[in-house]
Amino acid sequence: MAHEPEPRDQLPPLADAAPAYPAAPAAPVLAPATPTPPTHAAGTAPALSVRGLWKKFGEKIAVAGIDLDVPAGSFYGLVGPNGAGKTTALSMATGLLRPDFGSVHVHGLDLWANPLEGKRLLGILPDGVRLFDRLTGAQLITYAGLLRGMDRETVAERTADLLEALGLAADANTFVVDYSAGMTKKIALASALIHAPNLLVLDEPFEAVDPVSAANIREILNGYVASGGTVIVSSHVMDLVQRMCDHVAVIAGGHVLAAGTVDEVRAGQSLEDRFVDLVGGRQTTEGLSWLRTS
Ligand SMILES: Nc1ncnc2c1ncn2[C@@H]1O[C@H](COP(=O)(O)OP(=O)(O)OP(=O)(O)O)[C@@H](O)[C@H]1O
């Protein structure tokens, strides 16, 4: 007999309690060890507030009790080495991956208790995004707008605006499957923007994107933040995060190592130097002596 998947809305509520599985190996955690409940007056809620977020894949603890507050109206960078848990944390924070433990509030709304209302506030560019690539670029953005319940006229106007702003107008009628990696990233970003969300969560938005397009995207995002929106970007490019973001969190081994304004976190150093200090793990390359040609 076919097994009916359980609708997400009807899943039992998440446990807020401490996880039953063993704690991850000790890491230099600067964040509070015990999750503190979010406390904020109505109207001043952070755009995103996560408490005690945990996720384990088999024996691997990918996210080990993350607490994070992203102020409304901020441009927030999330940085960390490969495998740090950024994508896993962002997936749980945006309703794409169910946490084992913990809570997620979007503008004060419990996302996992109210997934439909919560997701209306969100625009998401997931990592390794899989799109309906047998649609053209214009069709894909239109589809995203209609899926969000927008009227056809507004969708058509905004689709044209987004294609123009992201330099994709000439390829509006090309199938997405025939787009380059950078074009695919841009069309996915356009699909995340069409409903003018309150909070944009972008996993590696600049990966594979050329410098001119990256500058255009930065301008779009700066304008969005200036008008009251909140952006969270994950990136490996420290220089970009230092220039572009006003807040940053450094994640490694599933823990938040430091979080705050960019100036607080970098503490007088460049963000890159501070990142290397915090995360450590520089490898010696002596073992690769065979690779040297002379
Ligand atoms: N679906 C999965 N099944 C098993 N392990 C997973 C899964 N997703 C992530 N992991 C593991 O969880 C850890 C965190 O992965 P995650 O993708 O969140 O890291 P990341 O910080 O986004 O890394 P990167 O910067 O390389 O993209 C890694 O050790 C990864 O191997």
ipTM, interface predicted TM-score of the complex: 0.97
pLDDT at 289: 78
Q: Are 208 and 129 in contact (CB under 8 A)?
A: no
What is the identity of the amino acid at 40?
Answer: H
What Å distances lie between residue 173 and 91, 137, 138, 176, CA to CA? 31, 6, 6, 9
- Where residue 43 falls among pLDDT bands split at 50, 70, 90? low
- Spacing, Cα 82 to ligand 1 middle (Å): 8
- Spacing, Cα 60 to ligand 1 middle (Å): 9
Mean pLDDT of the chain: 85
Residue 227 predicted with pLDDT over 60: yes
Dist CA 203 CA 231 (whole Å): 11
Kindly give the number of the ligand 1 atom that is closest to the alpha carbon of 90.
18
Query: By alpha-carbon position, which residue is closest to atom 25 of ligand 1?
Result: 82
- Spacing, Cα 165 to ligand 1 middle (Å): 32
Q: Which residues line ligand 1 (CB under 6 A)?
A: 57, 60, 62, 80, 82-88
Kindly give the number of the ligand 1 atom that is closest to the alpha carbon of 236.
25
Q: Are 252 and 228 in contact (CB under 8 A)?
A: no
Query: By alpha-carbon position, which residue is closest to atom 29 of ligand 1?
Result: 83
- Spacing, Cα 129 to ligand 1 middle (Å): 15
DSSP 229: -
Packed helices 137-147 and 181-193: angle between N→C axes, nearest 10 degrees: 30
- The DSSP string of 188-218 is HHHHHHTT--SEEEEESTTTT--HHHHHHHH
Kindly give the number of the ligand 1 atom that is closest to the alpha carbon of 80.
21
Residue 285 predicted with pLDDT over 80: no
Average pLDDT over residues 90-108: 95
pLDDT per residue as tens digits for the range 240-264 = 999 999 999 999 999 999 999 999 9
- Spacing, Cα 41 to ligand 1 middle (Å): 35
What is the identity of the amino acid at 137?
Answer: G
- Spacing, Cα 55 to ligand 1 middle (Å): 10
Q: Are 200 and 154 in contact (CB under 8 A)?
A: no
pLDDT at 206: 87
> Around Cβ 201, how many Cβ atoms within 10 Å?
28
Of 86, 94, 206, 251, the one to substitute when testing ligand 1's pocket (max ligand atoms within 8 A of C-beta) is: 86
Kindly give the number of the ligand 1 atom that is closest to the alpha carbon of 89.
18
What Å distances lie between residue 268 and 74, 81, 133, 273, 283, CA to CA? 21, 21, 45, 10, 25
Range name among 12-16, 89-93, 207-211, 279-283 with the lowest pLDDT average: 12-16
pLDDT at 8: 42
N residues, the chain = 294
